[in-house]
Amino acid sequence: AVANSTSATFLRVVGSELIQKYLGDGPKLVRELFRVADDLSPSIVFIDEIDAVGTKRYDAHSGGEREIQRTMLELLNQLDGFDSRGDVKVILATNRIESLDPALLRPGRIDRKIEFPLPDIKTRRRIFQIHTSRMTLADDVNLEEFVMTKDEFSGADIKAICTEAGLLALRERRMKVRLI
């Protein structure tokens, strides 16, 4: 949606793609990402699953953990280094905001923090309806039971539940999705 509503170049990266096997490759990728974004500005850098590299820091004992921390430090440097980002905007996405390093969320690094809370009952009901609309449900399936559950389901969780139920019916060569 963001890419279609702006004339800026849209660069999308998944946080886990920034984690590399060899020493120094992760920070190098971050530098390259921001160099390309600057060359193609105005641009938007979207890093999904930022928690893969942006978790709270601690004394790392393994080389892999240290490399992840180096990658995050380079990201912090790119976010507020000595050079202005100019026409490069950054969007970070996570569903584990509590695990992010506070330095990553410091004012000046991220312009806006937008949270999408877990859906309420009305919204959960609608999400279940959307994802089961093309499924044939057996009589024993009562979506209202799933809607009213106390579990905290995100929209993605609900979609995964519905998809898995449909795939299970296919694997078992059933014509209807039923409760197990």
- Residue range 2-8: average pLDDT? 75
Mean pLDDT estimate for the chain: 84
- Looking at the structure, tell me whether residues 73 and 150 fall in a common domain: no
Classify 16 as helix, strand or coil.
helix
What's this model's pTM, rounded to 2 decimal places? 0.66
Distance of CA 37 to the CA centre of its chain: 20
Please choose, from the candidates 67, 79, 82, 69, the residue with its C-alpha nearest in 3D space to the C-alpha of residue 31: 79
CA dist list (Å): 179 to 6, 122, 145? 45, 22, 11
- Looking at the structure, tell me whether residues 131 and 94 fall in a common domain: no
- Tell me whether residue 111 is in a domain: no
- Tell me whether residue 177 is in a domain: no
Domain count, the chain: 2
Domain containing 135 — which CATH number? 1.10.8.60
Contact call for residues 79 and 122 (beta carbons, < 8 A)? no
Task: Summarize pLDDT for 14-51 with one digit per residue, the tens.
Answer: 888 888 767 778 888 999 999 999 999 899 999 888 88
pLDDT of 141 above 70: yes
Q: Which of 48, 77, 105 is the endpoint of a domain? A: 105
- Tell me whether residue 146 is in a domain: yes
Task: Summarize pLDDT for 81-118 with one digit per residue, the tens.
Answer: 656 667 888 888 887 778 888 888 887 777 677 777 88
Amino acid at 128: F
pLDDT of 59 above 80: no
Percent of the chain with pLDDT over 90: 30
- Looking at the structure, tell me whether residues 90 and 15 fall in a common domain: yes
| pLDDT computed for residue 128 by the predictor | 94
- Looking at the structure, tell me whether residues 74 and 150 fall in a common domain: no
| pLDDT computed for residue 160 by the predictor | 93
Domain containing 43 — which CATH number? 3.40.50.300
- Looking at the structure, tell me whether residues 96 and 146 fall in a common domain: no
| pLDDT computed for residue 123 by the predictor | 94
- CA 13/CA 83 separation, integer angstroms: 22
45 forms beta bridges with 11, 90
Classify 21 as helix, strand or coil.
coil
- CB neighbour list of residue 41: distance below 8 Å, 6 or more residues apart: 8, 9, 86, 87, 88
- Looking at the structure, tell me whether residues 28 and 80 fall in a common domain: yes
| pLDDT computed for residue 152 by the predictor | 82
Phi-psi region of 51 (alpha: psi -120 to 50; beta: other; left: phi over 0): alpha
- CA 23/CA 57 separation, integer angstroms: 18
| pLDDT computed for residue 154 by the predictor | 87
- Looking at the structure, tell me whether residues 157 and 70 fall in a common domain: no
- Looking at the structure, tell me whether residues 14 and 101 fall in a common domain: yes
- Looking at the structure, tell me whether residues 21 and 74 fall in a common domain: yes
* Residue numbers of the domain that contains 53: 9-105
